[in-house]
């Protein structure tokens, strides 16, 4: 069964390599860039589609979580080569 790529958790918080905390905002835009290989991760074998969008065959499953799809992107640097991605990040500071 093919399921659309959607965000699993609403507004999760991640720590980057420098120790800063980032809250991920937004929804998946179905662009497929993170699955299709527009970055160093390469093309996902569970993605069916092309660079104009597609579907994930394992969305929400243990395989999906095992590939790290539920936590990607995890900080603003992840978006550097994904211009169509509609996720954004807000740095979490002491008052957030």
Q: Please state the domain extents for the chain.
A: 13-92
Rg (CA), the chain: 13
pLDDT score at 89:
94
**53-73 residues labelled b (16+ CB within 10 A) or e (exposed):** bbbbbbbeeeebeebebeebb
6-56 pLDDT tens trace: 444 578 888 888 999 999 998 877 677 777 765 555 778 887 776 666 777
pTM to 2 decimals? 0.69
């Amino acid at each position: 069964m093919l399921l659309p790529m959607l965000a699993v958790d609403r507004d999760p918080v991640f720590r980057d390599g420098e120790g800063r905390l980032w809250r991920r905002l937004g929804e998946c835009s179905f662009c497929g860039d993170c699955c299709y290989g527009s970055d160093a991760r390469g093309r996902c074998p569970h993605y069916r589609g092309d660079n104009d969008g597609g579907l994930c065959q394992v969305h929400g499953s243990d395989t999906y979580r095992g590939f790290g799809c539920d936590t990607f992107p995890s900080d603003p640097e992840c978006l550097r080569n994904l211009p169509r991605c509609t996720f954004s990040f807000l740095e979490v500071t002491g008052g957030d």
